[in-house]
Amino acid sequence: MVKKSGKKAWFIGLSCFFLPMALSLSVSFLVKTYIKVDQPIASSLYAAGALTSLSSFHDIACFLEDLKLLNSELGRLSMSASMISGSCSIASAFLAFTITQTNKLADKSKPDTHKISTGIILACCAMLLCIVFLVRPIMFWMIRQTPEDKNVKEEYIFLIFVMVMVSSLVGEYGGQHYLVGPLMLGLAVPVGPPLGAAIEDKLEFFITGLLLPLVAVSRATRIDIFTIGFHNFVTVMFVAMFSIIGKLMGTILPALFCRMPYQDALLLGLIMNVQGVLDIQFWLRALSLKLINGKVYGSLMLLMVIVTGTISPIVKVLYDPSRRYLTYKRRTIQHSKSNAELRILACIYHDENVPTIINLLEASHPTRDSPICVYALHLIQLQGRASPLLIAHKRSHEKYSPFNQSTRIINAFSFYEQDNHGLVAVNSFTAISPYTTMHNDICTLGLEKRISLIIIPFHHQPTVLSALHSSPGIRKVNHNVLNNAPCSVGILIDRRSTKAAPSAFISGNRSSYHVAVIFLGGADDREALAYGARMGEDTNVNLTVFRFIDRNERVDKLSEKQMDYDAINEFRMHAIDNENVEYTEEEVSDGVEFVAVIRSIESSFELLIVGRQHGEESSHLLHGFEEWNEYPELGIVGDMLVSCDTKSEGSVLVVQQQPRISSHSLENSKYRYGQVQ
């Protein structure tokens, strides 16, 4: 990960380490020389300045996850930069503690203390080599022995827990802190499922819910704020503030040089100043080696509470990742030019999503004049690793993805592209992030690639594996995409009752495909009509548009209703000579008649397209159905079509037209500081 970090991250990370270190040590020297302070405090100033200059990747990652910024642009750059500065911090702390410890352990009558420090470092290197070349291959063997879609054996997890204790014991005997061995071992664990995710599942609740609070409390009990003294606290605070200023300047200046906005550069500097549990562990180690005394330790703890407690609300209030998704252009199918390329972002959670999505894409009528560019995005929950990833799979290496499931999905879309050579272009991506912020990857890709339609699978799929495909996390992702998308969104529901083989659906030689559009009125229905009209131009697609008219409708000149009439008239005029297109008007007087018509037609079509929300003139027909709406993200009609009593196995596409337009768009901003690997 450090090796793959971009130049900006390296620039910011190194600057964020060396500048505060130089500044704090210089100020410590001036304070110690020209200001009268207590001797114990004076002897600890250098260590206090150095310790507050260190950065922790782990603490920053936890901070970003708590604020749901882990895979935002600012979060990605913070993670990359903190990897650089955190690596420098751990290496420098390791060397400093090793030298200090050997000086204390060495016999004063023997001048060769450097031999002891060399021995400790060599012992640590030997343990590292053993972990890399012996333990890590064993872990890969465990992964190979675990069948796909199966859990790792309990024996393997138990063996790894034993390795943790053994590495801690070996580290102690080698002259290091007991945490050094487990830290190296943790870095050697292959990230993600199945092994990394299994370890996280076993330990996360126990560690974060029980042990971590106990550790925080036990560390805090070492503080006696009444014995610190105001003068001593101010002295330590003065030195530490220059470390904070150094981190701010070491982050802001390179960021501005890279053309980041001033506010984002400032927030990045604040994030790099976050401190946490690993910093406390450094301070405890320094306290045990008598590099600092109890008063300095207490001052640093109080400073951490003040600084990190202040940074958190500031970042939360000032940084909103969704603000950049506001665009000043209409990115919809309705407003796309007929001879322009249609760009679709197809999101995939599971293998079972692929056949239905490819069926939908095949019906979307790619032509030489209006080809389709598909961005296939495989979404994986972040497990067993700290850093999110957004991977762009190169065409020359698309079959060699490090994720087996991604490889199958990439190959399926590659075959689809080959079957439609010259008409369809496919670009494949894999996004690994937590469900709480996964929508940032989707919306960012939709913005940067100028997507017109994002297709996201419904969170519940009524297959034989329905227990695996009814995820509250996926449902939350879909909600967030609907609320923040920079373009139109379609939720695709697969109502097949059995699991079919994906290869059976990937074919460009379909005889016919029956599609229906349900039109009541409103922007979302107009978007659904525009997408259906494009499908209707395909000779292999039989399109039927059902327009529902309320018999009790009042005749007025509402602008929304006029736009509906214009959209219908334009559709009918373009489809007048198309024998594959049928237009039907259904007059209904209430919701009961409306439901009866829907139930009578739904089983006759392989795909039903409907808008998520409808115009105000349709409120009479749908009155009362809101109380029975189980899935609000599908709207009233969409929820009705996926209800448990339906007998149809056709797919349903619920369309929402681009909801948010701004006159001040960030789409064309000149800075791009997120990392895509």
**pLDDT of the residue at 102:** 73
pLDDT at 616 > cutoff 80: no
Asked, for residue 669, whether it belongs to a domain, the answer is no
Residue type, 666: L
pLDDT digits (tens, 9 = 90+) for 92-122: 888 888 778 777 665 554 555 566 667 777 8
pLDDT digits (tens, 9 = 90+) for 401-443: 455 667 888 888 988 888 888 889 999 999 988 888 898 899 9
Largest Cα span, the chain: 105
Domain count, the chain: 2
pLDDT at 186 > cutoff 80: yes
Distance CA 657, CA 333 (A): 9
Helix axes 7-34, 39-53, angle to 10 degrees: 170
Question: Which of 318, 351, 373 marks a domain boundary?
Answer: 318
Asked, for residue 465, whether it belongs to a domain, the answer is no
**pLDDT of the residue at 492:** 93
In a shared domain, residues 532 and 650: yes
In a shared domain, residues 269 and 380: no
**The whole model's pTM is what?**
0.81
Asked, for residue 220, whether it belongs to a domain, the answer is yes
Distance CA 469, CA 431 (A): 18
**pLDDT of the residue at 117:** 65
Distance CA 196, CA 437 (A): 20
pLDDT at 400 > cutoff 50: no
% of the chain beyond a pLDDT of 70: 86
In a shared domain, residues 298 and 342: no
**pLDDT of the residue at 558:** 60
Asked, for residue 677, whether it belongs to a domain, the answer is no
pLDDT digits (tens, 9 = 90+) for 246-255: 999 999 999 8
- Would you list the DSSP string of 537-603? TSTTEEEEEEEEEETT------HHHHHHHHHHHHHHHHTTT-TTEEEEEEEESSHHHHHHHHHHHGG
**pLDDT of the residue at 469:** 47
**Weakest mean pLDDT among 105-109, 266-270, 456-460:** 105-109
Distance CA 306, CA 622 (A): 54
- Within a 10 A sphere around the Cβ of 470, how many other Cβ atoms? 14
pLDDT at 505 > cutoff 50: no
In a shared domain, residues 288 and 359: no
**pLDDT of the residue at 442:** 92
Domain of 644: which CATH number? Answer: 3.40.50.12370
In a shared domain, residues 366 and 287: no
pLDDT at 662 > cutoff 60: no
**pLDDT of the residue at 105:** 61
User: How confident is the prediction for the chain on average, in pLDDT?
Assistant: 82
Residue 305, CA distances (Å) to 181, 213, 302, 551 in order: 29, 15, 5, 66
pLDDT at 666 > cutoff 50: no
In a shared domain, residues 426 and 491: yes
- pLDDT category of residue 34 using cuts at 50, 70 and 90: confident
In a shared domain, residues 311 and 343: no
Strand segments, DSSP code E, in 277-421 are 342-348, 372-381, 389-393
Asked, for residue 468, whether it belongs to a domain, the answer is no
**pLDDT of the residue at 372:** 92
**pLDDT of the residue at 311:** 92
pLDDT digits (tens, 9 = 90+) for 62-83: 898 888 888 888 888 888 899 8
Alpha carbon 523 to its chain's center: 30
In a shared domain, residues 111 and 218: yes
Distance CA 71, CA 674 (A): 9
**pLDDT of the residue at 498:** 45
- pLDDT category of residue 477 using cuts at 50, 70 and 90: very high
Dihedral, CA atoms, 155, 156, 161, 162, nearest 10 degrees?
Answer: 70
Question: Which of 318, 349, 364 marks a domain boundary?
Answer: 318
Question: Which of 294, 318, 342 marks a domain boundary?
Answer: 318
Distance CA 160, CA 302 (A): 37
Domain of 142: which CATH number? Answer: 1.20.1530
* b/e per residue 36-46 (b: at least 16 CB within 10 A): ebeeebbbbbb
Question: Quick one: average pLDDT of 270-291?
Answer: 88
Contact 236, 28 (CB under 8 A): no
**pLDDT of the residue at 644:** 59
* Pairwise pLDDT comparison (604 vs 507), residue with the higher score: 604
* Pairwise pLDDT comparison (245 vs 396), residue with the higher score: 245
In a shared domain, residues 31 and 61: yes
**Weakest mean pLDDT among 39-43, 246-250, 398-402:** 398-402
Asked, for residue 672, whether it belongs to a domain, the answer is no
In a shared domain, residues 220 and 77: yes
Distance CA 315, CA 313 (A): 6
Sheet holding 651-656, edge to edge: 389-393, 424-433, 372-381, 342-348, 453-457, 488-493, 651-656, 607-611, 513-519, 541-550, 581-588
pLDDT digits (tens, 9 = 90+) for 191-228: 878 888 888 888 888 888 888 888 888 888 878 777 77
Asked, for residue 674, whether it belongs to a domain, the answer is no
Structural domain for 6, as ranges: 2-318
Asked, for residue 54, whether it belongs to a domain, the answer is yes
**Weakest mean pLDDT among 110-114, 273-277, 457-461:** 110-114
Question: Quick one: average pLDDT of 514-526?
Answer: 89
pLDDT at 316 > cutoff 60: yes
Alpha carbon 391 to its chain's center: 12
pLDDT at 229 > cutoff 90: no
Contact 378, 409 (CB under 8 A): yes
**pLDDT of the residue at 661:** 58
In a shared domain, residues 229 and 362: no
**pLDDT of the residue at 344:** 94
Write down the H helix ranges in 627-671: 635-641
In a shared domain, residues 425 and 452: yes
Question: Quick one: average pLDDT of 352-379?
Answer: 90
